[in-house]
Amino acid sequence: MSKIDFKPGNMLYPLPAVLVSVADKKGNSNVLTVAWAGTVCTNPPMVSISVRPERYSHGMICESGEFVINLTTEELAFATDYCGVKSGRDVDKFKEMNLTPLPGKVVSAPRIAESPVAIECVVKQRMELGSHDMFIAEVVAVSVDDAYMDENNTFCLENAHPLVYSHGTYFSMGEAIGKFGYSVKKTKRK
C-alpha cells in the first residue's frame, strides 16, 4: 500500500456537524452550522467551537459570551446544511427551517427543540487563530430529549441517528462495533 502526499490541512474527519444557537443582548437570535467543534476538558466540562469572524453569529457570541451547541440528526440534515450556507443577516433560519427555539436553562441563547442534545456554554476564552476564532467555553447545562432514554435511564444518542461531516459531505453514523475498553475486556470463564 502506498501513500499519497497532500498539502498540509485539516484531515481530522469525520466531525460532528452541529447547530450552534446564539443571541445578542437585544434578544435577536440566530443559528449557524459548525463542524469545527470539540471536547476540551472533562472537569470542568469544556468545549470549543471555531467560527469565522465575518459570520453574523460571531459578533453575537462576542457580545453575549454564550452559545448553545445543538447536536444534529439525519432528520436535521437539510436544516444543518441550510444554516451553514445562509446568513442570519438575510433570513430567519429558525423560521425558514421550522426550528423551534426553546429558552436556555442557564444562558440567554435559545436551544433547538428538534435537537436530541442541547449543550449550553459560557465563553471563557476567545483565541484569534487565522481564518477562524476559537471560542473555548464551559458547559453550564445540558438538556437531552427523553425520547432517547432507555429502560435503564441511559441516554441512547445512536437512536437519533447523529450526523457527521467529512470533506464537504454529511454522513449518518454507522452501527456500534464496541464500547470503550472492549479490546482488553476479560471474558468470563465457564
What does the pLDDT average to over 143-152? Answer: 94
Residues in CB range of 95: below 8 A, 6 or more apart: none
Give domain status of residue 190, yes or no: no
What does the pLDDT average to over 123-142? Answer: 97
DSSP reduced 3-state for 182: coil
| Model pLDDT, residue 42 | 95
Residue 8 has φ and ψ, to the nearest 5°, of -60, 135
CA–CA gap between residue 79 and residue 92 (Å, rounded): 12
| Model pLDDT, residue 190 | 63
How many folded domains does the chain comprise? 1
- We report the CATH number of the domain holding residue 98 as 2.30.110.10
Q: What is the CA radius of gyration of the chain?
A: 18
Give domain status of residue 69, yes or no: yes
Give domain status of residue 62, yes or no: yes
What nine digits make up the cell of 163? 450526523
| Model pLDDT, residue 129 | 95
Give domain status of residue 85, yes or no: yes
User: Domain range holding 135?
Assistant: 15-172
CA–CA gap between residue 34 and residue 18 (Å, rounded): 5
| Model pLDDT, residue 35 | 93
